[in-house]
Amino acid sequence: MNSDKTLLIIGIVWPEPKSSAAGGRMLQLITIFKELNYKIVFASASQESEFSFPLADIGIEKANILLNDDSFDDFISELNPNIVLFDRFMIEEQFGWRVSKSCPDALKILDTEDLHSLRLARQKAFKENKEFEDSDLFSETAKREIASILRCDVSLMVSEFEISLLKRQFKIDESLLFYLPIFAEKSKNQIAFDSRGDFVFIGNFLHEPNWNSVLYLKETIWPSIHKQLPDAKLKIYGAYPSQKVLQLHNPKTNFLIEGRAENASEVISTAKIMLAPIRFGAGIKGKLLEAMQYGTPSITTSIGAESMHDELPWNGFIEDNPQEFANKAVQLYTDKNLWNKSQQNGFGILKNKFSSDLYIPDFFGKMNKLLDNLKPHRNSNFIGQILQHHTLRSTEYMSRWIEAKNKNI
């Protein structure tokens, strides 16, 4: 590729768009920078899997890197990228100081995916059977995540709620945050109400909120739905199901664990309703976006729908009470007019909230502005410079200690 602009993406894993919304999000970011005519190198210290996206097929160079190893310093010095994008804050912790040392003028972007500290704080509150409060946010994870945000030049956020939280609770300056949600558009081929059947849930089982949702469906919500609709099935799809997930399979109650979906669009577009009773989490829920794309109404919780629809009517129901959740599922399943209206609501959300045309021009402008004014931008974020200074020292010494230890083994 003939380009004088280079983007280095450091991935926590190799993208698997068919396994998680995060994988799809990464491919969207790659596409955006391809449109800007960047040469793109994707590097990761993880192992590729059979489900990893074939990046070479779309002209992306791949690089295998090592943790706590100065070979990365040589690699990035030779590459000399204009922009480095960190895939989640843990990657910035590992490699950010090395980037700053070897390529101090590279623009550093953090893709948060979701606010990890928020998701984990909600999860902890849930497991302790108490209401989540803002004071629960001030954890070790939050300190690490906020420090990472401050060390970077800009963080990409998928949730406006999370932007508001960062500004309100942690006093993060707006100039360090940029709202760039996952993009989605209506699928051309839509299957009508009468040609669909059954309920569906889909989600990567390595993600704790998904496992909890399936267990909640099995133990609390599905028995009520099954009692009212004994012939309907609930089909559970998801990558990386563990044995505890597989053990929930029960054909007698039409609760079916189907494992990884070979074709997510097919299983969602042929289902009548998506069920997603998410009780803790953060970010944007990819399964609910996909449901809208394929014209499948959904029932979810207030956390599931968070930052996904503004004041627009939901494509189904938002319900936190489990019995009402079940009742609404039955109502939507049996009422064709309500179902059709809900489907149209979903298309409206996609058009007004998740169309790439709404965000990409501003994103291009933001990148150009940062690249042209990087020094004054960093000077206005002096706390970030202080953190960068001390982190470069402390993280470097820890990493070099690990590196030396590994060489002596």
pLDDT of residue 394: 64
Clarify whether residues 285 and 320 are in a common domain.
Answer: yes
| pLDDT tens for each residue of 143-167 | 999 999 999 999 999 999 999 999 9
pLDDT of residue 390: 72
Nearest-angstrom CA–CA distance, 114 and 233:
31
Supply the range of the domain harboring residue 312.
193-354
Mean pLDDT of 222-240: 96
Task: Specify whether the CB–CB gap between 23 and 54 falls below 8 A.
Answer: no
Residue that is last in its domain, among 354, 377, 394: 354
pLDDT band of residue 388 (cuts 50, 70, 90) is confident
Above 80 in pLDDT, residue 239?
yes
Percent share of the chain, pLDDT over 70: 95
Taking Cα atoms as reference points, which of 52, 61, 44, 47 lies closest to residue 1? Answer: 61
Domain membership of residue 254 (yes or no) is yes
Nearest-angstrom CA–CA distance, 238 and 254:
17
Sign of CA dihedral 311, 317, 318, 321: positive
Task: Specify whether the CB–CB gap between 54 and 17 falls below 8 A.
Answer: no
Task: Specify whether the CB–CB gap between 307 and 324 falls below 8 A.
Answer: no
User: What 8-state DSSP symbol labels residue 359?
Assistant: T
Clarify whether residues 374 and 228 are in a common domain.
Answer: no
Clarify whether residues 170 and 258 are in a common domain.
Answer: no
How many CA atoms lie within 13 Å of 136's alpha carbon, on the beta-carbon side?
17
Q: Which residues pair with 8 in a beta bridge?
A: 41, 84
Above 80 in pLDDT, residue 316?
yes
Taking Cα atoms as reference points, which of 180, 184, 210 lies closest to residue 20? Answer: 210
Clarify whether residues 198 and 299 are in a common domain.
Answer: yes
| pLDDT tens for each residue of 71-93 | 999 999 999 999 999 999 999 99
Quick one: tokens of 7? 């983007």
Domain membership of residue 256 (yes or no) is yes
How many C-beta neighbours within 10 Å does residue 169 have? 15
Nearest-angstrom CA–CA distance, 371 and 36:
13
Clarify whether residues 154 and 22 are in a common domain.
Answer: yes
User: What 8-state DSSP symbol labels residue 220?
Assistant: I
Clarify whether residues 69 and 218 are in a common domain.
Answer: no
pLDDT of residue 1: 39
Number of domains in the chain: 2
Sign of CA dihedral 306, 312, 314, 315: negative
Clarify whether residues 39 and 61 are in a common domain.
Answer: yes
- The domain spanning residue 14 has which CATH number? 3.40.50.2000
Above 70 in pLDDT, residue 409?
no
Nearest-angstrom CA–CA distance, 24 and 74:
30
Above 80 in pLDDT, residue 393?
no
pLDDT band of residue 396 (cuts 50, 70, 90) is low
Clarify whether residues 271 and 319 are in a common domain.
Answer: yes
Residue that is last in its domain, among 325, 354, 383: 354
Task: Specify whether the CB–CB gap between 151 and 98 falls below 8 A.
Answer: no
Domain membership of residue 310 (yes or no) is yes
More confident residue, 375 or 404: 375
Domain membership of residue 1 (yes or no) is no
pLDDT of residue 299: 98
pLDDT band of residue 284 (cuts 50, 70, 90) is very high
Mean pLDDT of 116-141: 93
Clarify whether residues 279 and 165 are in a common domain.
Answer: no
Clarify whether residues 303 and 383 are in a common domain.
Answer: no
Clarify whether residues 171 and 278 are in a common domain.
Answer: no
pLDDT of residue 2: 44
The pLDDT mean for the chain works out to 93
The count of residues in the chain is 409
Domain membership of residue 258 (yes or no) is yes
Nearest-angstrom CA–CA distance, 9 and 6:
10
Helix (H, G, I), strand (E, B) or coil at 401: helix
Please name the residues in contact with 279: beta carbons below 8 A apart, sequence gap of 6 or more: 126, 209, 212, 213, 216, 301, 303
Above 80 in pLDDT, residue 366?
yes
Taking Cα atoms as reference points, which of 24, 359, 350 lies closest to residue 188? Answer: 350
E strands within 134-194? 154-157, 177-179
Domain membership of residue 134 (yes or no) is yes
Percent share of the chain, pLDDT over 90: 84
Clarify whether residues 264 and 239 are in a common domain.
Answer: yes
Helix (H, G, I), strand (E, B) or coil at 276: strand
Quick one: tokens of 312? 């627009």
